[in-house]
């Protein structure tokens, strides 16, 4: 059960980080870099 809870916590953190990105003010390359960085966390 811990694995599922850990996975949900990681997913929630990544979604929170993604939602905080200033998407409208980032160019395509910057946005890609930020999203890739979030995926590594």
| pLDDT at res. 36 | 92
CA–CA distances in Å: residue 27 to residues 13, 21, 22, 23, 34: 23, 12, 10, 8, 11
Using a cut of 0.75, tell me whether the model's pTM lies above it: no
pLDDT means over runs of 10, the chain (41 residues) = 92 92 89 89 75
How far apart are the C-alpha atoms of 24 and 31, rounded to whole Å? Answer: 9
Give the start-end residues of each E strand in the chain. none
Residue 21 DSSP code: S
Report the share of the chain in percent with pLDDT over 90.
59
């Amino acid at each position: 059960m811990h694995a599922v809870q850990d996975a949900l916590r990681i997913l929630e953190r990544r979604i929170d980080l993604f939602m905080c990105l200033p998407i409208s003010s980032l160019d395509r390359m910057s946005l890609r870099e930020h999203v890739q960085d979030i995926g590594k966390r």
